Amino acid sequence: MDIFLQQLINGIVLGSIYSLVALGYTLVYGIMGLINFAHGDIVMVGAMVAFTVIHLLSGSGLPMFLIAGIGILAAILVCMAVGYLIEKVAYRPLRGAPRLAPLITAIGVSMLLQNLAMMIWGRGYLSFPALLPAISIPVAGAGISAVQILIVCASAAMMSGLSFLVKKTKLGNAMRATAQNREVATLMGVNANAIISITFIIGSALAAVAGVMVSAYYGVAHYDMGFILGLKAFTAAVLGGIGNIEGAMLGGLLLGIIESMGAGYLGAITGGVMGSNY
Amino acid sequence: MNLLEISDLHVSYDGIKAVKGIDLSLASGEIVALIGANGAGKTTTLKAICGIVRARSGKILFEGEDIGVLPPHGLASRGIALVPEGRGLFGRSSVEENLEMGAYSRSDTEIAHDLEKIYTLFPRLKERRKQAAGTLSGGEQQMASLGRALMSRPRLLFLDEPSMGLAPIMVQKIFETIRSLEGMTILLVEQNAKIALSMSQRGYVMESGKITLAGASGALLENPLVRAAYLG
Ligand SMILES: Nc1ncnc2c1ncn2[C@@H]1O[C@H](COP(=O)(O)OP(=O)(O)OP(=O)(O)O)[C@@H](O)[C@H]1O
Ligand SMILES: [Mg+2]
């Protein structure tokens, strides 16, 4: 087996998940200069909600792809609502406060989400059902599975959609204007609060999908899975220059590949320091 | 009825009074100058009218409607536009995106047509339409900021020191453009009292938060106090 190629494939898969999460950090930072440390936990909420919905429907006789689709949709909707509420309840009252205040609040929200999830879903690892058959396509000495293909394609599609939205639409123009000068954007008729809400909602939708992906990939979900994942994605966002959308995408990919290569070649030495935490 | 009618406007920043009870009015179609030294409170007055500074009291009526209670993003669609001090362009967005933001509050079908009109007015902007606005020269930025404000088809236009930092030839170009905006009601804030008073019908003089003189621009140009303080 070709270790290099295999780890490259694994790294790209992992990296596309990081990219999706990193985009949430970067979008919010770009608009309001806030590092939303609760973002990783929204990823967890997405995974948990999908887990519950898929679990509930699994005896219904519906085909698996439909069950998975409903699960993902539910995760997206719940995460959008959670993201919207977090901004409205936790961050909006702190507009204009010193920067430390919303940062501390973000950490508080993160802890709140984790503890709520622990109460609802318990402390144990939930075994996430396989959404796709475990087939693997051989590629020049390495293998690529159906889930991996789906993850990479879905991430690429979502990122292209986001790029189009931000770069080519009126809403995107207003988002970028608000990020650069909120006062002047307001004078042009932009409701900055609405733009900020939309930004949280978009970021949370991406996080929901990332949550389902990561759980489907590793086959587990856990109430604090968002913490490390969030930190990694945040690192990816910083690597790409926080606030920069393409940067977050590239940073995520790069981090995924580095991590995967580290796990492939240095696993025995680092003992998991550089490898995935799962 | 006046288009804009302000009475007893007070504004403060963290308890420090910047505007101390001013009355100001603009009739439809008028160009009115607001002059005064640094820190007199001119920019603060404009920001308060536009709702960006909320710590204020007094009445602000636009076409008889109390706009002081509106959210600040509600003014653009009513026909109020500001060319802010320092231009306030979205520096990383392109020139064209900046101009399009000017039309953000519009939903009619003539936006593309108005964009071409701005490009006819300022051909330089057309050449640089894809360039990041932050990389324009000072004069080009002022054109872009003015163009952006015009893209909203304003009925009331506030200009905050459009001549600041520009070479005389560029100042001339900007003011020629402003003069050509027939029928638009304009409040022109300027340090350059001479040019502001020579192109307006009326003027107000502001000193430490108060209006100390008001009258026909011609008379203000001849007024010895104005001459000594602002036209020296
Ligand atoms: N954001 C702010 N916070 C606190 N004080 C402010 C703020 N903005 C302006 N001020 C103060 O309010 C007063 C009026 O300022 P303003 O900017 O309105 O003056 P101006 O007439 O526009 O001056 P200039 O001609 O220099 O632009 C000044 O004393 C200024 O220091
Ligand atoms: Mg000023």
pLDDT at residue A263 in the model: 83
Which one of B43, B47, B49, B82 would you pick to mutate in the ligand 1 pocket, going by the greatest count of ligand atoms within 8 A of its CB?
B43
pTM: 0.92
Give me the residue from B81, B84, B100 closest to A173, CB to CB. B100
Rounded to whole angstroms, the Cα distance separating A76 from B74 reads 32
| pLDDT reported for residue A268 | 61
Q: Are A243 and A203 in contact (CB under 8 A)?
A: no
On whether residue A275 sits in a domain, the answer given is no
C-alpha A86/C-alpha A109 separation (Å) is 8
Q: Which residues line ligand 1 (CB under 6 A)?
A: B 13, 18, 36, 38-44, 85, 191
pLDDT of chain A, 278 residues: tens digit per residue:
688 899 999 999 999 999 999 999 999 999 988 999 999 999 999 999 999 999 999 888 889 889 999 999 999 999 999 999 999 999 999 988 898 999 999 999 999 999 999 999 999 999 888 888 888 888 888 889 999 999 999 999 999 999 999 999 999 999 999 999 999 999 999 999 999 999 999 999 999 999 999 999 999 999 999 999 999 999 999 999 998 999 999 999 999 999 998 888 876 655 555 555 54
CA distances from A156 to A153, B139, B153 (A): 5, 42, 40
> Residue A257's domain spans which residues?
2-270
Of A170, A176, A189, the CB nearest to B73: A189
- Cα of B38 vs centre of ligand 2, distance in Å, is 7
> Across the interface, do B105 and A188 touch by the CB < 8 Å criterion?
yes
> What is the pLDDT, as a whole number, of residue A228?
92
Q: Which amino acid is at B7?
A: S
Given this model, what pLDDT does residue B79 score?
Answer: 95
B43 close to A (CB below 8 A): no
Number of structural domains chain A divides into? 1
Find the mean pLDDT for residues B152-162: 96
E-state strands within chain B? 4-13, 16-26, 31-36, 56-62, 65-66, 80-83, 156-160, 185-190, 202-207, 210-216
Between chain A and chain B, the number of residue pairs with CB atoms below 8 A apart is 64
**Taking 80 as the threshold, does the pLDDT of residue B87 lie above it?**
yes
In a domain, A130, yes or no: yes
- Asked if residue A276 is part of any domain, the answer here is no
Ligand nearest to the CA of B35: 1
Q: How many helices (H) and strands (E) does chain A have?
A: 10, 4
Residue with the nearest Cα to atom 1 of ligand 1? Answer: B13
List the CATH number of the domain containing A156.
1.10.3470
Is residue B65 over pLDDT 50? yes
- Tokens coding A273: 């320091």
For residue A54, being part of any structural domain is answered with yes
In this structure, is residue A175 part of a structural domain?
A: yes
Whether B89 contacts B133, CB under 8 Å: yes
**Whose CA is closest to atom 24 on ligand 1?**
B38
A259 found inside a domain:
yes
pLDDT confidence of residue A278: 44
Express each pLDDT in B24-36 by its tens digit: 999 999 999 999 9
B104 touches chain A (CB under 8 A): yes
Residue B103 DSSP one-character state = T
Q: Is residue A7 part of a domain?
A: yes
Whether the pLDDT of residue B60 is over 70: the answer is: yes
The residue among A167, A187, A191, A244 with the most chain B CBs within 10 A of its CB, best to mutate, is: A187
- Residues in chain B with CB shorter than 8 Å from the CB of A195 are none
Of B75, B81, B91, the CB nearest to A180: B91
Sign of CA dihedral B168, B174, B177, B181: negative
- For testing the chain B interface, which of A167, A184, A188, A193 should be mutated: the one with the most B CBs within 10 Å? A188
Domains and their CATH numbers in chain B: 1-79+156-166+185-232 (3.40.50.300)
For residue B191, give the ligand 1 atom closest to its CA: 25
Nearest CA to ligand 1 atom 25: B38
Q: Are B144 and B134 in contact (CB under 8 A)?
A: no
ipTM at complex level: 0.93
Q: What is the mean pLDDT of residues B127-153?
A: 96
For residue A164, tell me if it sits in a domain.
Answer: yes
